[in-house]
């Protein structure tokens, strides 16, 4: 039984082994690591679901994704450098444009 204030969830052996080895790398517990990963995913997903309808892909050019941001009414470039995405408009690795690109299957396999 989980401790008070916690709930348990079932994952496949395969997922469990991955979480276990990442938690070991990060020197944290499996519960703490899984909670952190799920929390940050849910936050990014929530942010994205509000904003995603306002962004569309214009083109893929070399290491860049060209986006049209309808809220800003401008073109925004997100580029890949050393396996990390950065936004030229926001000069950020954590803005909605980067989050949007991270969700694209064409981009996901190039990003760590
Ligand atoms: Zn941005």
Q: How far, in Å, is the centroid of ligand 1 from the Cα of 3?
A: 40
Give the pLDDT score at 107: 82
Q: How far, in Å, is the centroid of ligand 1 from the Cα of 108?
A: 17
Kindly state the average pLDDT of the residues 78-107: 91
| 66 and 96 inside one domain | yes
DSSP string, 6-44: -------HHHHHHHHHHHHHTTS-HHHHHHHHHHHHHHH
What residues are neighbours of ligand 1 (ion), with CB under 5 Å? 87, 89-90, 95, 97
Domain carrying residue 29: 13-49
Give pTM, 2 decimals. Answer: 0.61
DSSP string, 79-91: EEETTEEEETTTT
Kindly state the average pLDDT of the residues 94-100: 91
Q: How far, in Å, is the centroid of ligand 1 from the Cα of 86?
A: 8
User: Does 32 map to a domain?
Assistant: yes
Residue 107's H or E segment, with its range, is helix 105-108
User: Does 6 map to a domain?
Assistant: no
| 107 and 61 inside one domain | yes
Q: pLDDT tens-digit profile of 40-77?
A: 888 777 777 888 889 999 999 999 999 999 999 999 99
User: Does 4 map to a domain?
Assistant: no
């Amino acid at each position: 039984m989980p401790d008070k204030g916690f709930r348990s969830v079932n994952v496949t052996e395969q997922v469990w082994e991955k979480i276990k080895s990442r938690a070991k790398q990060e020197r944290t517990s499996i519960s703490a690591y899984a909670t952190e990963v799920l929390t940050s995913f849910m936050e990014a997903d929530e942010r994205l679901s509000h904003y995603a309808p306002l962004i569309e892909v214009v083109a893929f050019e070399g290491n860049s994704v060209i986006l049209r941001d309808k809220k800003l009414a401008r073109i925004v470039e997100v580029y890949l450098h050393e396996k990390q995405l950065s936004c030229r408009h926001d000069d950020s690795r954590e803005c909605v444009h980067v989050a949007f690109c991270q969700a694209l299957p064409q981009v996901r396999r190039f990003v760590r």
